[in-house]
Amino acid sequence: MSRVKVALIQMRSGTDPERNLDDAEAMIREAAGQGAKFVLTPETTNLVQKDTQRLFETLKSPVEDPAPIRFARLAEALKIDLLAGSFALLGADGRAVNRSHLFGPDGEVKALYDKIHMFDVEIGGGESWKESANYKPGDRAAIADAAGMKVGLSICYDLRFPYLYRRLAQAGALALTVPSAFTRPTGRAHWEVLLRARAIETGSWVLAPAQGGRHEDGRKTWGHSMVVGPWGEVVGALSGDDPGILYAEIDAEEALEARRRIPALSHDREITGPGKPA
């Protein structure tokens, strides 16, 4: 058994990318100082800006934005695996992308992942989101080694689409990352249950660093960063929405053991029946 210490950074990112990166860096350094070998930050670590015009005034292309290179150097200096849960960046076609970067201890990029499922919803209480108006969705699942095991990447609203996690787990992922900025109403109602369900149905560690609290742009997020074990138990969670660091120890062998006990991942069947509605 080899346990690996992980650290989930909970943030309250604002509208100034440089300040957000400074805040993230301070907590990443703190976590590495505490012995964490895999450190994860939430969705849109570099920028939470719901005003479309200001968003596009602030976004930079992947080569011009200092965030990726800064995180790469940090991973290298601290000799850690580092998941930037996501950076909001300006894509080649003028739309934004919501992109996770997994950096390794040599500063190399081990995986890139663009959020696939767009949060286009009207959740009631006057809250509605149309992520696809500004962001271009990805279409490619991503997996890479970190913390001594294969890790599958996802972002936030992806959490509601179990087929993605099944695919990642069947491709060998033993840990699944879900950096998020959940709304408060859906966080209260669904966050823990969905994270635990993804862990149970795939026999995987689930690592979910979150944005939390009232952000500079007025938006409110749920926080409650969480680590779930492969048997579905909550191994650790932050109790609220303030910035902070959640530590846990994870172990590939525990995920393999859960899959030996319930080998559901290998029991998929071809089925016929009602198709997807047009």
Ligand X SMILES: O=C(O)CNC(=O)[C@H](CS)NC(=O)CCC(=O)C(=O)O
236 beta partners? 227
| Of 9 and 181, CB closest to ligand X | 181
Q: Is-contact 156 179, C-beta < 8 A? A: yes
- Residue 196 CB, shortest distance to ligand X, in Å, is 15
- Residue 263 CB, shortest distance to ligand X, in Å, is 29
Which residues participate in catalysis according to the annotation? 43, 115, 156
**Which residues, 6+ apart, have CB-to-CB distance to 10 below 8 Å?**
42, 209, 210, 211, 212, 223, 225, 238, 241, 242, 243, 244, 245, 246
| Of 10 and 44, CB closest to ligand X | 44
Buried b / exposed e along 164-196 (16+ C-beta atoms within 10 A): bbbebbeeebbbbbbbbbbbbebbeebbbebbb
Q: β-strands 38-40, 4-10: how paired?
A: parallel
- Residue 160 CB, shortest distance to ligand X, in Å, is 6
Helix and strand numbers (H, E) in the chain are: 7, 16
9 beta partners? 245
| Of 181 and 226, CB closest to ligand X | 181
| Of 129 and 231, CB closest to ligand X | 129
Binding residues for ligand X, rule: CB under 6 A, are 43-44, 48, 119, 129, 131, 156-157, 160, 181-183, 186, 190
- Residue 78 CB, shortest distance to ligand X, in Å, is 26
Tell me the backbone φ, ψ of residue 13, rounded to 5 degrees: -60, 145
- Nearest position to ligand X, beta carbon: 186
